[in-house]
Amino acid sequence: MTADNYGFDTLAIHAGQDPDPRTGAVVPPIYQTSTYAQDAVGSPRLGYEYSRSGNPTRDALQECLAAIEGGRRGLAFASGLAAEDTLLRTVCRPGDHVVIPNDAYGGTYRLFSKVAERWGLSWTAAPLDDLDAVRAALRPGLTKIIWAETPTNPLLNIADITALADLAHESGALLAVDNTFASPYLQQPLTLGADVVIHSTTKYLGGHSDVVGGGLVVADAGLGDELAFHQNAMGAVNGPFDAWLTLRGIKTLGVRMDRHCDNAERIVGYLSEHKKVASVLYPGLDTHPGHETAAKQMSRFGGMVSFRAAGGRDQAIEICNRAKLFVLAESLGGVESLIEHPGQMTHLSAAGSALEVPADLVRLSVGIETVDDLLADLEQALG
């Protein structure tokens, strides 16, 4: 199934998920097994021999991921960071170089600065909305990946995917785009020239805060084969029940994202007028510096909203602590609304570095509750 033949919601519901041929079950079974009986030595049935190497439930998820991102191959992992690590160690070697966003997700920054750097991989942080700065950060012959997030986490900056793809390919590098914040429903980087799409499937794809996972989708089948080899060799795969939960979440991704966006737009309008809010960070605002680029490459602007408290760090923390319906928790993309203080929570690993986030920043993952209830909660939290 491809986007050439079917719409997004049809792919989300059906790609990789044909009725079970033996029983007719409409939902793919959970193949909760570690190993498989073989018909003869060297003749595994349907190619399955061990569930690290292949599992029918995970294969269904991988096929669905590829379909909804418009890619040639999808791969599922135990977490988003496991997917990132596998990509880095497939494409790069010690001595190579990567350009990352200067406001990257804290876990991504930690992976580069505390893990990959010790392995011999160098990196440079640059504002990816400034092509001249990205160009200056490239190291000819050494840079193997331009690593993008758009929108970024948590500052919601926007990078021009097509322009970055052109720049990467001119220098002999790949463009990898973390599409977690937008989801494939709002943005498909491979169709804009990216080589690899990265997901924390924990977030919008799973959608219910009940499963951890990651994904890679690639445009080139050869790169897909290399990644699949490393997926098996490194072993950070997700289990069949996790794959099944993620597939279940993807089925409703489109309708959920519509509500996430509707609610976020109402909340942005409210926060933009509130005297205790210094500024609102949301690419759907005309005043956002990346608004035009976002409008070009996204169908809508997503359910993530950040704002800076007019009263500084202490007020930002107080807002987080006073919220009731907005749950004080890390992560994002679930049906329930979440609030957090990135400086002390998801991005604490970047504290003291050039990627440290503002201390007065509050991040909202806007859920799909009745929006008037969410607005009332923000009203009392802001005092």
Q: Which residue has the higher pLDDT, 5 or 324?
A: 324
Q: Which helix (H) or strand (E) holds 67?
A: helix 56-69
Catalytic: which of 144, 203, 300, 363? 203
Catalytic: which of 52, 89, 259, 313? 52
Strand pairing report for 196-199 and 214-218: antiparallel
Cis peptide before 151 (omega within 30 of 0): yes
Whether residue 54 has pLDDT greater than 80? yes
Query: How does DSSP classify residue 35?
Result: B
Nearest to 242 by CA among 202, 204, 203: 202
Q: Can you say whether residue 70 is alpha, beta or left, with left for phi > 0 and alpha for psi between -120 and 50 degrees?
A: left
Mean pLDDT of the chain: 97
Tell me whether residue 282 is one of the annotated catalytic residues. no
pLDDT digits (tens, 9 = 90+) for 81-98: 999 999 999 999 999 999
**Hey, which CATH number is domain 254-382, 3.40.1010.10, 2.60.40.3880, 3.40.50.2300, 3.90.1150.10?**
3.90.1150.10
Beta bridge partners of 82: none
Q: What pLDDT, on a 0 to 100 scale, did the predictor assign at position 25?
A: 94
Produce one character per residue of 286-309: b if its CB has 16 or more CB atoms within 10 Å, e if not: eebebbebbbebbebbbbbbbbbb
Beta bridge partners of 175: 146
Given pLDDT bands bounded at 50, 70 and 90, which one contains residue 361? Answer: very high
Query: What sign has the CA pseudo-torsion 252, 253, 259, 263?
Result: positive
Predicted model pTM? 0.96
Q: What pLDDT, on a 0 to 100 scale, did the predictor assign at position 189?
A: 98
Start-to-end CA span in the chain (Å): 51
> Which residues of the chain does CATH 3.40.640.10 include?
8-248
Tell me whether residue 178 is one of the annotated catalytic residues. yes
> Which residues of the chain does CATH 3.90.1150.10 include?
254-382
Nearest to 266 by CA among 380, 155, 366, 363: 366
- Which residues are CB-contacts of 130 (< 8 A; sequence separation ≥ 6)? none
- Which residues are CB-contacts of 52 (< 8 A; sequence separation ≥ 6)? 232, 235, 237
pLDDT digits (tens, 9 = 90+) for 144-153: 999 999 999 9
The CATH architecture one would assign to domain 8-248 is: 3-Layer(aba) Sandwich (3.40)
pLDDT digits (tens, 9 = 90+) for 263-292: 999 999 999 999 999 999 999 999 999 999
Tell me whether residue 203 is one of the annotated catalytic residues. yes
- Which residues are CB-contacts of 6 (< 8 A; sequence separation ≥ 6)? 14, 15
Average pLDDT over residues 226-247: 98
Catalytic: which of 59, 103, 129, 178? 178
Q: What is the spatial distance between Cα 301 and Cα 356, in angstroms, rounded to a whole number?
A: 24
Q: What pLDDT, on a 0 to 100 scale, did the predictor assign at position 354?
A: 86
SS3 state at 345: coil
Q: What tokens does 142 get?
A: 């050494």
Query: What sign has the CA pseudo-torsion 100, 102, 106, 112?
Result: positive
Whether residue 360 has pLDDT greater than 90? yes
The dihedrals phi and psi of 256, each to the nearest 5 degrees, come to -65, -45
Q: Identify whether the C-beta of residue 364 lies closer than 8 Å to the C-beta of residue 354.
A: no
Q: What pLDDT, on a 0 to 100 scale, did the predictor assign at position 3?
A: 74
The dihedrals phi and psi of 224, each to the nearest 5 degrees, come to -60, -40
Catalytic: which of 36, 48, 105, 282? 105
**Tally of helices (H runs) and strands (E runs) in the chain:** 13, 14
Given pLDDT bands bounded at 50, 70 and 90, which one contains residue 346? Answer: confident
Q: Identify whether the C-beta of residue 194 lies closer than 8 Å to the C-beta of residue 169.
A: no
